[in-house]
Structures are given as C-alpha cells and as structure tokens.
Chains A and B, each alone.
Chain A
C-alpha cells in the first residue's frame, strides 16, 4: 500500500514539475520576444530594491489595510512552504511527519506557528473575497477586470482558503489518530490551533479518520501541484516575478524618458553632415520608431506585464482615469500580457511568428487611451513591484506620431510652433525677451 502511494506521489510530482517547467520556458521565450536592453548596472542598488520592495513589500504599506492582509497571506505562503518540504519528503519516502523525531520539542512549536499563519491566511483571503465581491471596492471592480480577471482573482483566493482548510483538518485528525496510538502516526505534542478542535472528530472510527486524513493530505499536496501549474496562466505569477521585476526596476529618476540614440544621430548627421558615416550598400536594418507591437517593447516592459497582479493601485491614482478618461495603466499592462500570450501561441503553432494582422497598438490599446496620459508618473510611483506603464505609453506614442503621423491637430500645431517659433505657442521668437523691457520700464 505505502509503496503504491509513494510511486503515485513521485509520478504526480514529476508531472507537476514537468508542466510547470514547460510553461516557464514559454514565458521566458515570450519575454525574450522583447527588444534587448542592458539592465545590469548598479547591482547593489538593484538588490536593495528587490529586498525592500519585493521581499519587504515597502510600497504596499502606502495602503495599510490591504498591506497587513497581504502580508499575512504572503508570510503565510512563504513560511508554510517549509512545511510543504516535510510533506514532500514524506510523500517520496513513504514516511509520516519525518521531521518530528529530529526536531523534538521544536516540532509542535513550528507546526503550531504554521497553523497560526494558516488561520491568518484563511481569514485574510476571506476578507479579500468580501472586499472584491461584496464591498465591491472601486479599484477591484473596474471594467478591465470583467470576465476572466475577476474569476482569476476569486479562484486564487478560494484555492488558498481550501488549501489552508485541508492543512488544518489534516492536523486535527492527525492529533486524534495520535491519541488513539494508531501505527504510523508519529507521536507529537498537541498543536496550538488544531489541538483545540479534536473533539470534532472524536466520534468517528479510526478507519474513517485515516481515510479523511489521507484524503486531506493528498488533496492538499495535489492542490499545491495544481496551483503551481495555475500560476503561469494567472495574475498570481507576481509571487515569483515580483522579485526579478523589482531587481530590474528603473533606477534613474522617474521623470526621465529613455533617449533614442538613432534619432539623436540622425539629427546630428543632418546638422553636421561631416559626422555622418560614409554611405554603404548594406541595407539598413528594418527599424520601427517607438513601439507598435510587443516585439518593439523592451524585455523589461514584457516582464512588467507578466509581473502585474492587477491590483489597480496605478489606475486608482491615475489623474486621467479618475476623471473618467479611457486610460487605465493597469489595462495597459493587461493588454501587453494578453497580446504577448497571443503572439506566443502564434509562434507555438507556426514555429515562427506569422503576421496575424494585429498589433498591441490599435487592436489592444487605442489612441484615445494613449492621448489621455499626462506622464505624471503616479502609476509608476504607485506600483509595489516596480512596473512602469508609462514606459509602454511613451513608446506607443512615439510610434503613433513618428510612424503614423497620428497626432491631434492641436499637437501638430504645437509641433509646428516649436519648429518655426521655437516655442509651443504662436509667438514671435523676437518677443521672447520682451518682458525684460517691461521690467526695465
């Protein structure tokens, strides 16, 4: 019997790890569809950001209530994973509570601690569900979340509640079985939480209890394997990618826009033709100004999109969104991920990308959204995991203006004024210092 369970366990682990690794490879490939960008400078500042922002959740605490709830789930998730290690080894080795004899008195203390965390996780997830579905917080009920994104959130929270429930039930019954001296159930001291609930099961027969305990054990670990494989399809992937994303986050001032050296050079060669390299017969590489599709964006923009957990802190502070404009920085990130997934599937089917007549710009993100942005960087500042929606907006705007000459009439006039009058308004450049005369007079 035990050997079958062991083999079955090893098989399940193998399948879970295999499919997870396969999906991770796909995500990696999708992120690498982006433009190269060297982000290796200043590793010490980057590690610091990762520790403060991802590990330390620094920016989450701008909103204390969700921050504490999230911290409970996050700490619970990480620390309870230590217990998963024991469960995993038990499964492979056909043991039960492998660590109990080794850790002695520390063992019930640890399990007790995990149980407290499990209760905290469970409670927080229930509150999160209430906030989403009953209190209907504005940030969590915006139009871009209709459909799958809302279900995704509810699936994640429900799964965590179920997993914690299984963990606690398993421990309670374990204690009952221990008290009856059932073979294989290693004797430990009572556990802090579940020790108080053994009466729930005291009327059931030993055989039934072993059946329930095994079922809980299996459902718990299978649930974890399934959840692992659900991650790459879900916004919940942030639990992994928040770390690299914080590491590769922007270190330069938020106000700074990345330079375009090719255009810089083009202007230089126009102004100083002697500096231009000699013309060659080589065909210039096809090159697009700004970004029209995900391949034109940097790989960091694409990592951003996979790291987004759709919390909407960006959209909640966006001045355009707050005043009813179509722009939502969160939607920019969701659209980028959706388009990336679409391109990924296309590549999967055809080996290489076959033009599908679609692009991130226009088919996913409209000009109206892009034109509403004030580049105020509130979204960038708000993101707890260093996502930069503004970077994508700027690159798409560059494409609109430079490739499609698509700008509102007023902007075209402003461009013309800058070019001809050296100011965005139609004033004579000769009047630029007129205020000096007024001051003198």
Chain B
C-alpha cells in the first residue's frame, strides 16, 4: 500500500480527508510502529484519503511541557502549528492520547485549531457508519479482554465509551478492572516518566497496574496509547505472564478483524 505525505498531496494539488498524526512513538518505537501500520492499513482498506507529515512531523512537546520545560514545548508547538497551518490542515487523527490532548486542548491557545480525533473514536465512528466492517466470528470473539483507560483519553478528556464500543463490536467479553474509567490507574509513563527512571518506591507503577489487569483473568489487555503498551507489557513480563497475557492496541485488534 501507498502512504502519501502531506508534501506529496500538496504537490499534486490534492487535499486528503484527514491528516494521520503518527507521533514519535508510532514513528520510531518498534512495538508502536505495528499499531501505526495497523491503523494505516485500516484507513487504506476502507478507502480514506489520508496523509502523514512524514519527516516534517515533530514531537508535539508534550513530555517537555509536563516535565516543566515550557520553552521547548513552545518551540515545538510553534514549528508544528506553522507546518500544519501552512498546509491548511483541518482534521487530524492520532494514535497517541498525549498528542491528542495537546492538539485538542493546548494548541488552540497558540493558534493551532484543528478538529482532532483519537484513533479509537475515529474507529468507533467508522464502525458506526458501516465503513469499517468487522468479520463474523473473528479472532477475538468471546475472548475475555480487559481495557486500560489511558489518563489523557479518559480523565484528561472524558473519552471512556468510544474505545469500549469498538471492543464490543469485536464481540469480546469485556471484563473491567476494579480501577477503570474515571478511577482508572495510570500505567506510570505520563508526565515524562517514560523518559526517566522511577523515583524510589516499594514497587513500580506499571507492575502494579499490570497486576490489576492480570487479576481480571483477561488474556488480552486492550490499550489506546503507545506508552501504556510499553509499560503494561513490561509489567506482564515482570510476572512472566507474557505467554498467556498480551497487550494490544485497539487499532491492531480492529485490523485483525476486518471483514
């Protein structure tokens, strides 16, 4: 399949339906790249004209801002908004809830106004509109699956139902963790923790959250964030349960279930 960059669209005078903001994890992290590819495959399969920024995409500045480095955040924001406005981007979809939060809540004050969607909401709409069709009796049918709310999709932006509706469309048996929805527990990566060693404590946040997920007896932990994916996978490995419990992004699950 062909993935075209915004520069290529602009050169041919075409306008894509939506810009797929891949994010740094989705671009570089090997595990997250699989999610990127899965989501791009879905978009391609249902015939959505989408573009990526490619080499012109930069970090949104989220980890810098949350670590306290506002200068760096503002520089990244300035550059990204400059690029996006230069192309006249109106609609953005992203596979990272941190990028989503920045686009939805923090870029508008800086002159970056876009209609932004997280990929789980986007997928839910595609399913509702009948554009994405799920095959009967797919790989996940009847499977016990738990869903981990990422902080920046859940509490941060009150999106709890769209990802769950996508999972329900896969005909799974959804088992909730004790801490879910607005009381969901962080995977431990947010606030730039992903990029440093944890402070001294009795255990790690991701170990604790992975234990909660495993306690449900689910064989798959469904997630919506590349950082949660890494953290929970590590937590499950710590208990040596990686053979029986896997962490999957909702986009990967949909891609594997397309009719």
Contacts and interface: CB of A to CB of B under 8 A. Distances in A.
Given A424-B24, A435-B33, A410 B105 contact: no
A267 interface: yes
B108 to A, nearest CB: 10
B52 A377 contact: no
Contact of A264 (B36, B74, B195): B74
A262 to B, nearest CB: 9
B66 A394 contact: yes
A375 interface: yes
A323 B204 contact: yes
A93 B201 CA distance: 63
Contact of B67 (A323, A368, A411): A411
Interface residues of B, number: 74
Interface stretch (A136-144, A168-176, A219-227, A250-258): A250-258
B71 to A, nearest CB: 6
A430 B165 CA distance: 37
B259 to A, nearest CB: 21
B122 interface: no
Interface string A349-382: 0000000000000000000100111111110111
B65 A415 contact: no
A312 to B, nearest CB: 15
Nearest to B110: A264
A173 to B, nearest CB: 49
B24 A376 contact: no
B204 A400 contact: no
B105 A411 contact: no
A99 B186 CA distance: 56
A290 B68 contact: yes
A116 to B, nearest CB: 34
Interface residues of A, number: 70
B192 A414 contact: yes
A263 B71 contact: yes
Contact of B64 (A289, A323, A376, A418): A418
B16 interface: no
Nearest to B101: A255
B205 interface: yes
A378 B155 contact: yes
Candidate in B36, B78, B183, B205 with the most chain A CB atoms within 10 angstroms: B205
A435 B36 contact: yes
Contacts of A1: none
B191 A376 contact: yes
Contacts of B27: 423, 427, 431-435
Contact of A414 (B109, B152, B195): B195
B196 A376 contact: no
Nearest to A62: B183
A430 B57 CA distance: 10
Nearest to B30: A435
Interface stretch (B1-9, B85-93, B130-138, B215-223): B1-9
Contacts of B197: 408, 410
A320 B201 contact: yes
Interface in A230-267: 252-257, 259-260, 263-264, 266-267
Nearest to B3: A436
B158 interface: yes
Q: Is the interface of A mostly helix, strand, loop or mixed?
A: helix
Interface string A313-326: 00001011011111
Given A319-B185, A374-B151, A263 B54 contact: no
A183 interface: no
Contacts of B55: 429-430, 432-433
Given A375-B190, A438-B37, A267 B68 contact: no
B203 A324 contact: yes
Contacts of A433: 3, 5, 27, 52, 54-55
B176 to A, nearest CB: 15
Interface in B43-88: 52, 54-55, 57-59, 61, 63-72, 74-76, 78
B74 A267 contact: yes
A300 to B, nearest CB: 18
Interface string B204-243: 1101110000000000000000000000000000000000
B188 A374 contact: yes
B40 A439 contact: yes
A408 B200 CA distance: 14
B67 A322 contact: no
Given A259-B110, A436-B52, A267 B201 contact: no
Given A407-B67, A411-B192, A418-B63, A377 B155 contact: yes
19 contacts: A255-B157, A256-B156, A268-B78, A319-B185, A323-B208, A371-B196, A374-B151, A374-B193, A376-B186, A377-B151, A381-B183, A397-B68, A398-B68, A408-B197, A415-B64, A418-B63, A422-B76, A430-B55, A440-B3
The 7 closest A-B pairs by CB, nearest first: A255-B156, A324-B202, A375-B191, A324-B201, A397-B68, A401-B68, A376-B186
Given A263-B70, A381-B155, 16 more contacts: A253-B105, A256-B101, A319-B188, A319-B209, A325-B200, A372-B199, A374-B189, A377-B151, A377-B156, A402-B68, A410-B195, A410-B196, A413-B195, A415-B67, A430-B55, A435-B36
